[in-house]
């Protein structure tokens, strides 16, 4: 595998960590354990049974927590402390050939994970404004499917996976921006006066 392919895989793993960090770590470790891919030295720790067991249990917990309106937003806020560092580690570990994590790769991975995490959290915040809980559940299942499919595609065809990720991120960012803009305009109309104030009325003089 060329260095360009490895670089793309590092970017994709950081992006996926910003959405489903435990599922991403579990998928990477499982792929390495089953021999589907040769993991670089810094990522081989994910193949251990305790990492697989822990990440698998947390991925299962996240699967259910992410599908409950309100709970998902609290979970996203809490997972900010996990997704960003994990994205930084996954990117740097993928790009490392000797097990040493580069500062630049760590910073890039953290930035990518933060971007996808913010996009996910913003989308969920919008969905939680809807009284229909099914939309939240559907979005969560879609994220599970996207992360699983993208992870598999990244290991087989990283450039194709990168194109799909960039396209989905752009569309998602535009959709979130447009929706928030519409909501802001709607709120401004609700708080605006029902009618423009007229000219001030002068007080009548008392009758003699």
In a domain, residue 43? The reply is yes
Distance (Å, rounded) from C-alpha 158 to C-alpha 46? 20
Local confidence band at 200 (pLDDT 50, 70, 90 cut-offs): low
The mean pLDDT value for 188-208 works out to 54
Range(s) of the domain holding residue 76: 3-190
Q: Exposed, middle or buried by CB within 10 Å (0-12, 13-18, 19+), for 109?
A: buried
The mean pLDDT value for 73-101 works out to 87
In a domain, residue 69? The reply is yes
Of 37-41, 57-61, 68-72, 199-203, the range with the lowest mean pLDDT is 199-203
Which residue, among 21, 146, 27, has the nearest Cα to 88 in the 3D structure? Answer: 21
Would you state the structure tokens that stand for residue 69, as one six-digit string?
């309106």
193: which DSSP letter? -
In a domain, residue 196? The reply is no
In a domain, residue 79? The reply is yes
For the chain, how many structural domains are there in total? Answer: 1
Q: Exposed, middle or buried by CB within 10 Å (0-12, 13-18, 19+), for 116?
A: buried
Cα 113 to Cα 10, 119, 121, 194, distances in angstroms: 11, 10, 12, 44
**Model-level pTM?**
0.79
Q: With the C-alpha atoms ordered 122, 139, 115, 162, is the resulting torsion angle positive or negative? A: negative
In a domain, residue 208? The reply is no
In a domain, residue 50? The reply is yes
In a domain, residue 84? The reply is yes
Q: What pLDDT digit, counting tens, does each position of 137-167 carry?
A: 888 888 888 899 999 898 888 888 888 888 8
Helix axes 71-95, 3-17, angle to 10 degrees: 160
In a domain, residue 161? The reply is yes
Q: What pLDDT digit, counting tens, does each position of 8-38 carry?
A: 888 999 999 999 999 999 999 999 999 888 8
- Name residues whose C-beta falls within 8 Å of residue 167's C-beta, 6 or more positions apart in sequence: none
Cα 146 to Cα 24, 98, 121, 143, 200, distances in angstroms: 11, 31, 16, 5, 60
């Amino acid at each position: 595998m060329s260095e360009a392919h490895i670089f793309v895989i590092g970017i994709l793993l950081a992006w996926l960590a910003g959405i489903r960090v435990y599922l991403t770590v579990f998928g990477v470790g499982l792929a390495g354990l089953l021999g589907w891919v040769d993991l670089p030295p810094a990522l081989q720790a994910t193949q251990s049974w305790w990492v697989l067991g822990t990440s698998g249990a947390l991925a299962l917990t996240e699967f259910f927590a992410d599908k409950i309106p309100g709970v998902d937003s609290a979970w996203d806020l809490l997972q900010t402390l996990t997704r960003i560092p994990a994205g930084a580690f996954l990117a740097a570990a993928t790009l490392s050939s000797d097990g040493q994590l580069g500062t630049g790769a760590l910073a890039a991975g953290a930035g990518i994970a933060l971007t996808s995490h913010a996009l996910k959290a913003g989308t969920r915040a919008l969905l939680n404004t809807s009284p229909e809980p099914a939309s939240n559940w559907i979005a969560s299942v879609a994220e599970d499917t996207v992360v699983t499919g993208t992870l598999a595609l990244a290991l087989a065809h990283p450039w194709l996976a990168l194109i799909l990720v960039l396209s989905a991120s752009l569309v998602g960012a535009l959709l979130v921006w447009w929706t928030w803009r519409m909501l802001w305009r709607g709120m401004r109309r609700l708080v605006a006066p029902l009618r423009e104030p007229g000219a001030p009325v002068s007080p009548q003089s008392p009758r003699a």
